[in-house]
Chain A
Amino acid sequence: MSGSDQESTHRTIERVARESYGRLVAYLCSHTRDVASAEDALSNALVAALTTWPRDGVPQNPEAWLLTAARHSLIDHVRHQQVAVASEPTLQLLREESKEMTLSAEFPDERLKLLFVCAHPAIDPAMHTPLMLQTILGLDAARIAHAFLVSPTTMGQRLVRAKTKIRDGGIQFEVPQERELPQRLDAVLEAIYAAFGIGWDDLAGIDQRGRDLAEEAIWLARVLLQVMPEEAEVRGLLALMLHCEARRRARRGAEGRYIPLLEQDSQQWSLPLIAEAELHLAEAASRGRTGRFQLEAAIQSVHAERARSGRTEWTAIVLFYEQLTRISPTLGTRTGHAAAVGEASAPEAGLAVLDRIDPEDVSAFQPYWAVRAHLLQRLGKASEAAEAFDRAVGLAEDPAVRQFLLQRRG
């Protein structure tokens, strides 16, 4: 096999691993509930592929090949376990499934169940997103750890603990019943959005957590949409993230300078991403069930309109925020509402909205201070504005945002 053939084989393995990882893990652990063993088995299968495929060629059905190899590895693993008696049912189950399994790729897509398991109420909410990133996308603990600002060892331990809880805690691999579906789905959506982590990207109020996982979050939302095409909020979330992602390039100027949304050159926004976002939003709206993510996407959609009309319809944004604060009165939403009111009517009105928030709650919430500073400055209250700017700068993590705010402060 020539070098370039080998290279293309490696690329195929990477692509199959990326596209099939979650499907394979979900299927492998859907009966045993043993996520860690399923992941180990799949990684063994991928190692085997790296030696076999370049030699024998890529199998006709790579996914089925990986599944078979992973399954063998899983059976070996269970056999070698000391607790042979306890694991006998598992082994039996695997054997039976093996018999049914032929080399066709026709195995059920269990990723939805796995997503619901990852965001199960019995699992620490802080671990919902890391679990999804690892089990569905195959990201390693170190990468996840950096994004969530914990040490790789700690993240590794937390992931192990969460998987043990899934295996031993009686958490069922199932799609929740109609009755509890909205709430459970919300946890899944929240977890995906947490990976995206843009929070709120106006006036240099930025929550940086997990921001380098934006593409992974979009991927997760696409996976969710594949398995839940009927849910309006899934499309709402995807539309929201696509709108924000469309502006990625415009957010930074020369030398990495931070550019706030209102000053971005809309010519630099990605029109295909905006168009895709709009499609999902329209499709979601046609289902007649509005929700938090659709409203947030609608706000971003109004901002995106500027690319066409050259202006921002703040009144429309305020209306969406009013609905949003009713169903999801988070600090981010309330701060965004205040900023929009400040633009649509007057800075005093914006400040009045901010003043309804308990100061205790915002002592470490950066966007609040950024918006407050901006509104005070527009009112000409220089010294109060400077105080608020300082708080916003001091709470910022991104040096470019810090620089931007310090310049604004004057």
Chain B
Amino acid sequence: MQFALLIFEPPEAFAARTADENDAYLGAWRAYHKALIGAGVLVGGAPLQGPDTATTVRLKEGQRRVQDGPFADAKEQLGGFTILEVPSLDAALDWAARCPAASVGAVEVRPLSPEYLRRVTG
């Protein structure tokens, strides 16, 4: 079963991305990635650039509305996502707890929806 870990990070975590090689947060992420590969559960995923790079688009009554910044105004922002193939939600939650972002921000766990994908793709 596939799950997405949606990784929410505070500004400090985004800042750590440009820190030097010895940064603990960076090191933790490197190790976490290796552990995911080693356990054979990683399907895919990607980090996102910081929320200051975000642009949000809406169409309201036919009018384009473009907003600088992310969709939701919150201290913790979506920093990336990881897709895992694991046997159960319990296993996905285990991996979420090990994610370095879990101790500084939050990790939301959601099952992917292959049924909906089939309806959309036909």
Residues of A participating in the B interface, judged by any CB pair closer than 8 Å? 149-150, 208, 363-364, 387, 389-397, 399, 402-403, 406, 409
B35 part of interface (Cβ distance < 8 Å): yes
Are B97 and A363 in contact, CB atoms less than 8 angstroms apart?
no
Cα of A394 to Cα of B28 in the assembled complex, Å: 6
Q: Are A397 and B24 in contact (CB under 8 A)?
A: no
Whole-angstrom distance between the alpha carbons of A395 and B27 in the complex? 13
Q: Do A393 and B27 have beta carbons less than 8 Å apart? A: yes
Could you give, for residues 22-35 of chain B, a 1 whenever the CB lies within 8 Å of some chain A CB and a 0 otherwise?
00100110111111
Give A358 Cβ to nearest chain B Cβ, in Å. 14
The segment from B36-44, B51-59, B111-119 that touches chain A is B36-44
Closest residue of chain A to B23 (Cβ to Cβ) is: A406
**Closest CB-CB distance, A205 to chain B, in whole Å?**
14
A364 nearest in chain B by CB position: B39
Q: How many contacting A-B pairs (Cβ < 8 A)?
A: 58
- Are A149 and B31 also in contact (CB < 8 A) when A391-B38, A394-B36, A396-B98 are? no
Given contacts A149-B90, A402-B100, contact A393 B40 (CB under 8 A): no
B94 lies within 8 A of chain A by Cβ? yes
Considering residues A149, A393, A396, A409, which has the most beta carbons from chain B within 10 angstroms of its beta carbon?
Answer: A393
| Cβ distance B68 to chain A, nearest Cβ, rounded Å | 33
The CA-CA distance from A403 to B21 in the complex, in Å, is: 15
Residues of B89-112 whose CB lies within 8 A of A: 89-90, 93-94, 97-98, 100, 102-103
Residues of A contacting B93 in the complex (Cβ-Cβ under 8 angstroms): 149-150
Interface residues on chain B, size class: 20 to 34
Query: How far does the alpha carbon of A128 sit from the alpha carbon of B6 in the complex, in Å?
Result: 31
Chain A nearest CB, measured from B98 CB (Å): 5
- Compute how far the CA of A208 lies from the CA of B98 in the bound complex, rounded to whole angstroms: 10
Q: Identify 6 new A-B residue pairs, CB closer than 8 A, beyond the known A364-B39, A394-B33, A399-B28.
A: A390-B31, A391-B34, A393-B27, A394-B35, A399-B103, A406-B28
Shortest distance in angstroms between A64's beta carbon and chain B's nearest beta carbon?
Answer: 42
| B30 CB contact (under 8 Å) in A149, A150, A390, A392 | A390
Give the distance in Å from the alpha carbon of A148 to the alpha carbon of B5 in the complex. 19
| B residues in contact (CB < 8 Å) with A | 24, 27-28, 30-36, 38-40, 89-90, 93-94, 97-98, 100, 102-103
Expressed in whole angstroms, the minimum distance between the Cβ of A157 and any Cβ of chain B is 13
A402 & B40 in contact (Cβ 8 Å cutoff): no
Cα(A208)–Cα(B97), bound, Å:
10
Choose among A364, A392, A399, A406 the residue with the greatest number of B CB atoms under 10 Å from its CB: A364
- With A150-B90, A402-B28 in contact, is A363–B103 under 8 Å at CB? no
B-side contacts of A393, CB under 8 Å: 27-28, 31-32, 35
Residues of B within 8 A of A364 (CB): 35, 39, 94
- Shortest beta-carbon distance from A80 to chain B in Å: 37
Complex CA–CA separation, A392 to B89 (angstroms): 22
Q: How far is the CA of A149 from the CA of B36 in the complex (A)?
A: 19
Our pick among A363, A396, A403 for the contact of B40 (Cβ within 8 Å) is A363
Chain B residues closer than 8 Å to A392, beta-carbon distance:
31
CB<8 Å pairs between A and B, sample of 5: A363-B39, A393-B32, A394-B28, A394-B31, A406-B31
Q: A149-B97, A394-B32, A397-B98 are in contact. Are A363 and B90 (CB under 8 A)?
A: no
User: Given A395-B98, A402-B100, A403-B24 in contact, is the A390-B34 Cβ separation under 8 Å?
Assistant: yes
Which A residues touch B34, using CB under 8 A? Answer: 387, 390-391, 394
Does B24 contact A406, Cβ atoms closer than 8 Å?
yes
A298 to B34, CA, bound (A): 36
Separation in Å of the A288 CB from the closest CB of chain B?
40
Q: Which residue of B lies closest to A363 (CB)?
A: B39
Indicate which residue in A150, A208, A395, A403 contacts B35 across the interface (CB closer than 8 Å): A395
Write the chain A residue with the least CB distance to B30. Answer: A390
Q: In angstroms, how far is the closest chain A Cβ from the Cβ of B26?
A: 10
Residue on A nearest B94 in the bound complex, by CB: A149
Q: B90 — nearest CB in chain A belongs to which residue?
A: A150
Cβ of A341 to closest chain B Cβ, rounded Å: 24
CA distance A4 to B25 in the complex (A): 50
How far, in whole Å, are A247 and B39 apart by their CA atoms in the complex?
A: 32
Contacts of B33 in A (CB 8 A): 394
The 6 closest A-B pairs by CB, nearest first: A394-B35, A393-B31, A394-B31, A363-B39, A390-B31, A394-B32
